[in-house]
């Protein structure tokens, strides 16, 4: 090769290396961050998925790392040029990673091989196997206020598109009944109002859902959401009372009517265009029904001797200030349990213990993780990991470890936060199929 050609080749190679350098450096930085995140994930138990989480097809991933950059919760990382789920327990299920992957190598799945999750069968538009019956929010497996809100909007926008395609058969029937007015039902109702649907919203308690039952002054951690017919709510942290006040204000301003104090007892599809929704006050009819009833209706119980007879066992905490100079046991490993334990530990004279069956608090938000660590280091809270309550007496609870060791802990008050039961019988009576998910795509 003559010297001129050599120079041209060398220049070409040099330019190629230069052009690839930023990509190489970005990858190196991401792999380094992944190593750190992986260590943190193991430390806090975030490597065990709780419910919805991404899985990456190792054969399909081409390592663009777009999914890593796009995930605000930092669920994914990059190892050996391929995406991996580093902290799947942090996933809140918005699916940005799945959508941005250019080769469809990512899928969001519920549950794991070891831990099945029961959910109503829902399609992408939130419709169940019963045509015209939709499930949104926590009932469909998607927890968190902002997710529930987003699903409410998306679901009703989809219904409106479908109605535009098939405008026939409207008659005198309402277009829609929304059941439940937590964040999911509220957002569905606001969208229905904005889009001019004929609808009603039936709520057995009051507007606000589970949020209304949070402990007093609880800081709700969320993300900005679009409120149909109103605008954007930009906040990331807001007190429970403020959030409820804001929602009530929005409902008032846009003229949303919620029929409160109305419990829906059954839903049946009468013919292919028509649902009957039964309540104590009578039967309502509509072409479609959106179920947004959450999962908190039936709190999950421990199922141990003494629980049903005990008057000092509760499944919600609204007024931590009401408890002072008490010996308290909180049971559970999620944000609700940790927040309750922390709030109770802050009250004067309380002696608070937190019992959790897991070996780490893998599902809680980073802010709660930090508060928990600080409470542990200042001794205001005792955490008993890998323990199961076995018996409840009026002033103590027997806890058991996996190796058979047992200990009686003093407890004048017991709070149990181990989630809610899926209202399986209610859903099945409406014809909705339930599936157990084991993390398979």
Ligand X SMILES: Cc1cc2nc3c(=O)[nH]c(=O)nc-3n(C[C@H](O)[C@H](O)[C@H](O)COP(=O)(O)OP(=O)(O)OC[C@H]3O[C@@H](n4cnc5c(N)ncnc54)[C@H](O)[C@@H]3O)c2cc1C
Contacts of residue 421, Cβ cutoff 8 Å, sequence gap at least 6:
295, 298, 299, 300
Place of tokens 């927890």: 143
Nearer to ligand X, 61 or 181 (CB): 181
d(Cα 117, Cα 353) in Å, to the nearest integer? Answer: 28
Site string for ligand X, 230-269 (x = CB under 6 A): ---------------------------------xx-----
Q: Which region among 16-24, 119-127, 287-295, 373-381 touches ligand X (by CB under 6 A)?
A: 287-295
> Does 222 participate in binding ligand X (rule CB under 6 A)?
yes
Among 56, 106, 179, 409, binds ligand X (CB under 6 A): 179
* Residue 160: how many other CB atoms lie within 10 Å: 17
Shortest distance in whole angstroms from residue 360 CB to ligand X: 20
Q: Tell which positions 131-150 bind ligand X, by CB under 6 A.
A: 137-139, 143-146, 148
First to last CA, the chain: 54
Shortest distance in whole angstroms from residue 412 CB to ligand X: 21
Nearer to ligand X, 204 or 284 (CB): 204
Shortest distance in whole angstroms from residue 59 CB to ligand X: 35
**CA dihedral (67, 71, 76, 77) positive or negative:** positive
> Does 294 participate in binding ligand X (rule CB under 6 A)?
yes
Q: Which region among 69-77, 292-300, 318-326, 375-383 touches ligand X (by CB under 6 A)?
A: 292-300
Shortest distance in whole angstroms from residue 347 CB to ligand X: 17
Nearer to ligand X, 34 or 187 (CB): 187
Shortest distance in whole angstroms from residue 291 CB to ligand X: 9
E runs forming strands in 90-249? 106-110, 117-120, 133-135, 174-179, 199-203, 219-221, 225-227, 231-233, 237-239
Contacts of residue 99, Cβ cutoff 8 Å, sequence gap at least 6:
none
> Does 372 participate in binding ligand X (rule CB under 6 A)?
no
Shortest distance in whole angstroms from residue 407 CB to ligand X: 27
Is the Cβ–Cβ distance between 239 and 218 less than 8 Å?
yes
Which DSSP category does 218 fall into? P
Shortest distance in whole angstroms from residue 178 CB to ligand X: 10
Numbers of helices and strands, H then E, in the chain: 9, 25
Nearer to ligand X, 85 or 220 (CB): 220
> Does 90 participate in binding ligand X (rule CB under 6 A)?
no
d(Cα 203, Cα 183) in Å, to the nearest integer? Answer: 12
Shortest distance in whole angstroms from residue 309 CB to ligand X: 25
What angle do helix axes 183-194 and 240-254 make, rounded to 10 degrees?
20
d(Cα 21, Cα 26) in Å, to the nearest integer? Answer: 8
Shortest distance in whole angstroms from residue 146 CB to ligand X: 6
Place of tokens 């992986």: 38
> Does 183 participate in binding ligand X (rule CB under 6 A)?
yes
CA torsion 190-192-196-202 (nearest 10°) is: -90
Among 76, 84, 91, 184, binds ligand X (CB under 6 A): 184
Nearer to ligand X, 83 or 139 (CB): 139
> Does 432 participate in binding ligand X (rule CB under 6 A)?
no
Nearer to ligand X, 397 or 416 (CB): 416
> Does 117 participate in binding ligand X (rule CB under 6 A)?
no
Task: Name the 3-class secondary structure at 416.
Answer: strand
φ, ψ of residue 13 to 5 degrees: the values are -65, -45
d(Cα 179, Cα 262) in Å, to the nearest integer? Answer: 9
Nearer to ligand X, 77 or 215 (CB): 215
Task: Name the 3-class secondary structure at 200.
Answer: strand
d(Cα 279, Cα 261) in Å, to the nearest integer? Answer: 10
Among 297, 299, 358, 366, binds ligand X (CB under 6 A): 297
Q: Footprint of ligand X on this chain (CB under 6 A)?
A: 137-139, 143-146, 148, 179-185, 202-205, 209-211, 214, 220-222, 263-264, 292-294, 296-297, 335-336
């Amino acid at each position: 090769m003559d010297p001129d050609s050599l120079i041209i080749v060398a220049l070409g190679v040099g330019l190629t290396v230069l052009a690839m350098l930023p990509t190489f450096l970005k990858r190196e930085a991401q792999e380094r961050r992944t190593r750190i995140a992986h260590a943190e994930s193991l430390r806090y138990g975030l490597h065990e998925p709780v419910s919805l989480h991404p899985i990456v097809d190792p054969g399909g991933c081409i390592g663009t790392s777009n999914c890593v950059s796009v995930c605000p919760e930092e669920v994914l990382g990059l190892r050996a040029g391929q995406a991996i789920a580093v902290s799947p327990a942090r996933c809140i299920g918005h699916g940005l990673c799945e959508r941005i992957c250019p080769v469809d190598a990512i899928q969001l799945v519920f549950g794991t091989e070891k831990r099945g999750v029961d959910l109503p069968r829902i399609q992408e538009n939130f419709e169940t196997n019963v045509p015209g019956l939709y499930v949104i929010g926590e009932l469909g497996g998607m927890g968190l206020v902002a997710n529930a809100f987003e699903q409410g909007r998306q679901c009703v926008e989809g219904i409106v598109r479908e109605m535009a395609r098939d405008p026939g058969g409207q008659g005198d029937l309402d277009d829609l009944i929304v059941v439940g007015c937590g964040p999911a039902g509220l957002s569905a109702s606001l969208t229905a109002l904005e889009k001019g649907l004929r609808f009603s919203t039936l709520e057995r308690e009051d507007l606000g859902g589970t949020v209304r039952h949070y402990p007093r002054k609880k800081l709700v951690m969320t993300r900005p959401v679009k409120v149909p017919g109103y605008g954007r709510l930009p906040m990331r942290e807001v007190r429970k009372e403020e959030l409820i006040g804001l929602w009530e204000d929005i409902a008032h301003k846009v003229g949303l009517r919620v029929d409160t104090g109305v419990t829906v007892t059954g839903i049946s599809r009468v013919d292919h265009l028509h649902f009957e929704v039964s309540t104590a006050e009578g039967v309502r009819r509509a072409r479609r029904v959106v179920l947004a009833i959450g999962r908190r209706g039936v709190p999950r119980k421990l199922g141990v001797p003494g629980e049903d007879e005990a008057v000092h066992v509760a499944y919600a905490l609204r007024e931590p200030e009401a408890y002072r100079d008490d010996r308290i046991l909180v049971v559970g490993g999620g944000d609700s349990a940790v927040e309750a334990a922390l709030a109770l530990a802050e009250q004067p004279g309380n002696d608070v213990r937190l019992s959790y069956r897991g070996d780490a608090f893998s599902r809680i938000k980073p802010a709660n993780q930090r508060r928990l660590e600080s409470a542990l280091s200042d001794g205001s809270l005792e955490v008993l990991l890998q323990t199961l309550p076995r018996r409840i007496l009026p002033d103590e609870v027997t806890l058991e470890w996996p190796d058979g060791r047992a200990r009686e802990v003093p407890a004048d008050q017991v709070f149990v936060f181990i989630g809610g039961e899926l209202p399986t019988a209610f859903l099945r009576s409406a014809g909705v199929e339930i599936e157990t998910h084991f993390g398979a795509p």
